[in-house]
């Protein structure tokens, strides 16, 4: 990757907001972003602090769209209720709040 590619990637890279990260923490989820320079997208990993492995990932697309990424260790009953596409951070946060609530209930059983 040349200098020009790095500059273009830096200007085009989408990132989640600080408010989004703080809200995720309220839900008990840590956020890690990984930029893929070949696609120009960010993979956003959501991890529970008491676990080492992320529970799910979203892909952050151009324009602030989120796409459900990999289900890393969510129960199928939770995954089937998740939207495959979220139009903005607000919709993504609703999905993450659902994940957080359902995981607590699922583990209590």
What would the pLDDT profile of 48-76 be if each residue is shown by its tens digit?
Answer: 988 888 999 999 988 899 999 988 889 99
Exposed e or buried b per residue across 51-85, where buried means at least 16 C-beta atoms within 10 angstroms of its C-beta = eeebbbbbbbbeebbbebbeeeebeeebeeebeee
Question: With 80 as the cut, is the pLDDT of residue 11 above it?
Answer: no
Q: What is the number of other CB atoms lying within 10 angstroms of the CB of residue 10?
A: 9
pTM of the shown model: 0.84
User: Is residue 72 classed as helix, strand or coil in its secondary structure?
Assistant: coil
């Amino acid at each position: 990757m040349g200098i020009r590619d790095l500059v273009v990637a830096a200007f085009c890279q989408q990132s989640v907001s600080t408010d989004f990260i703080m809200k995720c923490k309220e839900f008990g989820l840590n956020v890690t972003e990984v930029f893929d320079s070949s696609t120009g997208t960010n993979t956003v990993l959501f991890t529970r602090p008491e676990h080492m492995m992320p529970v799910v990932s979203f892909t952050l697309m151009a324009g602030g769209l989120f796409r459900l990424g990999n289900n890393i260790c969510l129960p199928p009953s939770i995954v089937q209720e998740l939207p495959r596409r979220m139009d903005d951070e607000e919709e993504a946060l609703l999905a993450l709040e659902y994940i957080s609530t359902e995981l607590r209930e699922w583990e209590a059983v």
